[in-house]
Amino acid sequence: MVGKEKVVENTVVRLSAADMKLFQDLIRDHSGIHLDEIKCNSLIPVISRYLLKKNFNSFGKYYRFLQQDRHYEVEVRDLILYV
């Protein structure tokens, strides 16, 4: 294992409709990009891999982390670049 990454192959983080709404709002608020439901659904595997790479097992936990993180802007930019 390299660094802190613990990505388990074939593991998927499930995202609820509420999670997807938070994700859409986050991306829109920080980039001006509006992601419709179809685009968001197509990004679920990518978002899931990103969350696992960051050692989060839910989007809700990641979102709460963002709200407390003093490096919020950098982290959100990294997420946007990843997706």
| φ/ψ (deg, to 5) at 6 | -130, 60
Mean pLDDT of the chain: 84
Say if CB 55 and CB 11 are below 8 A apart.
no
Q: Rounded to an integer, what distance in angstroms lies between the CA atom of residue 6 and that of residue 3?
A: 9
Ramachandran region of residue 10, left (φ > 0), alpha (ψ -120 to 50) or beta? left
Say if CB 48 and CB 42 are below 8 A apart.
no
pTM: 0.75
Angle subtended at Cα 35 by Cα 64 and Cα 83, rounded to the nearest 5 degrees: 65
pLDDT digits (tens, 9 = 90+) for 5-43: 444 455 789 899 999 999 999 999 989 999 998 998 899
